[in-house]
Amino acid sequence: MRKIKISVLLILSIIMLFAISAAGYAKTPVSLQSALEIALRDAGLSEDQVCLGEIDGEDGKSVDIEFSRTDDRTEYEYEISAGSGKILEKSVEYRYKKNASRKKIGKTKARKIVSKAAGVSVKKIKKGTCKYKYKKNQGKYTIKFRHKNYKYKYVLMASDGKIIEYEYEYHKSK
């Protein structure tokens, strides 16, 4: 009988030890409000400067947030890890008036503008793609490249080099 009591106490002690250890290592999921604060901080905005769109965290893995600035028509979309709070994906779209000019800044200058905006060397950007399209009285450059664990995409007005859209997406290393 005494051996049974000691065995039961030992087993309960081991179970409690594992439960306490597991609780200490569990990650606290990022709340919807925390994810919104992360996105706003990254965009350099406060809640009173934006019009909130959609906030979705139903899958439990990430929080998707959409908002736009109240003083212009800039739109932001974020995907934030629910476990770590890391920005997994970001997209920003700027709205500009259409320009019917066929004037182009050239691919070299477009890459330099993106290099400065992304903080990545022009050499690294040249490994990606740079395409020009003229559509609906607008000339645009679309530049795509990879750097570290991210895929980037920038869209610039061909006439003056203004960035009208950019996004990046996190990809885990294989």
> Is residue 123 pLDDT above 80, yes or no?
yes
Output the CA torsion sign for 120, 122, 127, 129. positive
Give the confidence band of 22 by pLDDT, cuts at 50, 70, 90. Answer: very low
> Is residue 78 pLDDT above 60, yes or no?
yes
Domain span at 52: 25-95
Percent of the chain scored above 70 by pLDDT? 79
Residues 107 and 168 in one domain: yes
Higher pLDDT pick, 74 / 28: 74
Q: What is the CATH number of the domain that holds 104?
A: 3.10.450.40
What's residue 161's pLDDT? 92
State how many domains the chain has: 2
Global pTM reads: 0.62
DSSP secondary structure, 113-162, as one string: HHHHHHT--HHHHHTSEEEEEEETTEEEEEEEEEETTEEEEEEEETTT--
Residue 64: inside a domain: yes
Distance CA 17, CA 22 (A): 9
